[in-house]
Structure 1
Amino acid sequence: MHRFLLTPRWWGINVFVALSIPFCLFMGTWQLGRFEDRVGSHREASAERPAEQAAAPLDSLLPVDTTTSGRLASAAGEYGRQLLVPERDLDGKSGFYVLTLLRTDSGKTIPVVRGWLPGTADAAKAPAPPTGRVEVTGALQASENAGTKGVHAEGGLPAGQLGVIGSATLVNLVQDPLYDAWLTVQTPADGMVPVPAQAPSNTGLDLKAFQNLGYTGEWFVFVAFVLFMWFRLYRREVETLRDAEAGLLPAAEAADAPGSTHAPASTHAPGSTDAPGSAKPEAPAAASATAPAAE
């Protein structure tokens, strides 16, 4: 009854099932691993840093990753050009960052967010940076990306304002080499509010993290669907063969059933000598109704 599993049609079905199930399991496991990584990074970012943790030299914490993001970094140099970063919310209020470029002793420049002020970005509200050589300590942050941060780029902003804090938007404003990072001062002066460190991009329990969890469920559902469809096709084939053997199918369907050995039943009665193309024997001539005249 199960010889139909060896037919070319079922060979194709079985190969497809054998390849698709491991692939779906692999993809579901990979998406689950991505979700677990984001949960781990969220816990790490949410964990409070020891208060006695000393600031490390800036160069020793680069490049910025999930481990070094938010760490206190120290750098020394001289402040240069000052810019404003508008449309930045803090504690539910709209305001702007006061960003000043720090040319370090190494010759490279790093953006430093010296604090946050409420209201519309206005250069007259921003305190001037200290002059001379300064030592800056701030939380290390990775460069922003306009596509992931949801903020506008530099184009269309007034002069002296910046939409995205990153080397890509500052490269045309600074002649010196740039660090691919920025600092946010945790103890600002002149009445400015400190900007808290932000979690690095693509980490934490954000929408993408739950998308990974949703994709995990989808891949495992695909596995169950493939198995269900295979079993359904298999059961239909078995039922069709049983009906054919029991004579419950019309002759034409029984002959077409997979693995069926039944031939179509003859439409002639047993013992019939009729064959296609044979002449039907004629009936004997009828007897004469009149007898020969007696002599």
Structure 2
Amino acid sequence: MREYRFLGTAPWLGWFALAALFAVVCGLLGHWQLDRRAETVAAIETIEANYDHEPLSFDEAAGQFRQFDTAREWTPVRMTGRYLPEQTRVVRNRPLNGQPGFEVLVPFRTAAGPTVVIDRGWLPLGSNGDPAAVPAPPSGAVDVVARLKHPEGGLDRGAPPGQLASIDLDTYAAQIDAPIATGAYGALADEKPAPATSPIAFPRPSLDEGPHLSYAMQWFAFGLLGFVGLGYAARQQAWVNRNGGLDDDEDIPVHLRSGALRKRPRRRTRRTAEDEEDDLLDAAGWR
């Protein structure tokens, strides 16, 4: 249709290229959200498969503390041994339910021989920026059930004496006298005998996959809306061309070809009886 010939002009081709670029960016962001959702769903499936699993014996899980298989994360392990409280460290900047605090790491020398790290729970931030008090673990022989967790990487920042910036087991091992397994650590689920006071136990991990799917759909919709908007603008321009009696590109003023301004068609008014009477008088030469 001739009124759409303006779509081949440079300005409109530029607008089309801009809409296409916008759609590509929105598509990439949508796929990024889908990737994040896939990671979250995989983590949820691991929790559902392992969290309530019957505890493994230490002999069955010993290899995980040396070289961790992420598919076994959250699997409970039952072990017997003794805590090494003099090597306790607290990990900074560990929020729980929106509150800042610390996590308490204590080496645990198993009866089988290897020493592993147990995260005994969470402590709130004290008034001076440190934990108000760090409860001591049970002394003597202790039966522990802990869930396997992957250690964290190191952070490019230090920590005061007795503290760690993250659960980086290699950094921890370099600070203490006892050799510890660095492939994984255990998040405490139960210990017997139970001490009089303990850090706050960790809640069950969330099974909510979050809004990633809805965000992805929104980004895809935004990408399509760019073309919808361009199509609407082109339809309006074609209507102006058609109703303004513009036959070809040469007749289209520059400001219309650029799309910056649009010519408003003249409003058509209905002729009245007085107009027709005036015409008759004019034709007869009486006016």
TM-score, normalization: structure 1?
Answer: 0.56
Specify whether residues 84 and 189 from structure 1 end up closer, same or farther in structure 2 by C-alpha distance, changes over 3 A only.
farther
Match of 1:184 in 2: 187
Match of 1:42, SS state, is helix
> Which residue of structure 2 lines up, in the alignment, with residue 63 of structure 1?
68
Task: Give the whole-Å Cα distance in 1 for the aligned partners of 2:79 and 2:231.
Answer: 67
Which residue of 144, 150, 156 corresponds with 1:142? 150
- In the other structure, the counterpart of 2:34 is 32
Q: Is the 8 A contact 1:73 1:140 kept in 2?
A: yes
Q: Give the Å deviation of 1:230.
A: 0.9
Measured after TM superposition, the shift of residue 141 of structure 1 is: 1.8
- Alpha-carbon separation, structure 2, partners of 1:54 and 1:70: 11
d(CA) in 1 for partners of 2:122, 2:37: 33
Residue 278 of structure 1: aligned partner: none
Seq. identity, %: 24
Unaligned runs of 5+ in 1: 148-152, 259-295
Would you say the 8 A contact 2:143–2:191 is kept in 1? Answer: no
Change beyond 3 A, Cα 1:130–1:114: farther
TM superposition score normalised by structure 2? 0.58
Q: Give the CA deviation at 1:238.
A: 0.9
What is the alpha-carbon distance in structure 1 between the residues aligned to residue 158 and residue 110 of structure 2? Answer: 24
Q: Please list the CA deviations of residues 112-170 of structure 1 after superposition, one character each: whole Å capped at 9, or x if unmatched.
A: 245789997546x5245437xx88652112335799xxxxx9735xx656675432652
Q: For structure 2, which runs of at least 5 residues remain unmatched after alignment?
A: 258-287
Compared CA separation, residues 244 and 121, structure 1 to 2 (3 A) = closer
Aligned to 2:118: 112
1:231-272: CA deviation from partner (whole Å, max 9, x where unpaired)? 13312321232234269xxxx9855454xxxxxxxxxxxxxx
Distance in 2 separating the partners of 1:214 and 1:126: 46
Q: Secondary structure at the match of 1:188?
A: strand
Aligned to 1:126: 136
1:173-213 C-alpha deviation (Å, 9 max, x unpaired): 225465143213433124236945764xxx8537xx33x34
Confirm or deny: 8 A CA contact 1:99 1:112 kept in the other structure.
Answer: yes
Query: Higher relative contact order by CA 8 Å / sep ≥ 6: 1 or 2?
Result: 2
Superposed CA deviations along residues 69-108 of structure 1, whole A, max 9, x for unmatched, are 11124678775444264898999xx998664313579997
Where 1:57 maps in the other structure, the secondary structure is helix
The answer on whether the counterparts of 1:140 and 1:197 sit within 8 Å (CA) in structure 2 is no
Q: Which stretch of structure 1 is more off in the superposition, 47-56 or 24-33? A: 47-56
- d(CA) in 2 for partners of 1:114, 1:3: 73
What code does the residue aligned with 2:108 have?
A: L
Judge conservation of contact 1:84–1:98 (CA < 8 Å) in 2: yes
Partner of 2:230: 230
Q: What is aligned with 1:11?
A: 13
Q: 1:231 to 1:185 in 2, by over 3 A?
A: closer
Question: How many aligned residue pairs are there?
Answer: 237
Report the CA distance between 1:218 and its aligned residue.
Answer: 3.8
Mapped to 1, the partners of 2:242 and 2:11 lie a distance apart of 20
1:222 is paired with a residue whose SS is helix
Q: Please point out which of 21, 24, 39 is paired with 2:23.
A: 21
Pairwise mapping of residues 1-295 of structure 1 onto structure 2 (< 5 A)?
1=2, 2-46=4-48, 49=51, 52=54, 54-55=56-57, 56-60=60-64, 62-63=67-68, 65=70, 67-73=71-77, 79-80=83-84, 81-83=86-88, 85=90, 99-102=105-108, 109-113=115-119, 122=133, 126-127=136-137, 129-130=139-140, 137-143=145-151, 155-156=159-160, 160=162, 164-167=166-169, 170-174=172-176, 176=179, 178-192=181-195, 195-196=201-202, 199=205, 204-205=207-208, 209-210=210-211, 212-213=212-213, 215-245=215-245, 255-256=253-254, 257-258=256-257
Distance (Å, rounded) in 2 between the aligned partners of 1:68 and 1:214 = 30
RMSD of aligned residue pairs (Cα, Å): 4.8
Larger helix proportion, structure 1 or 2?
2
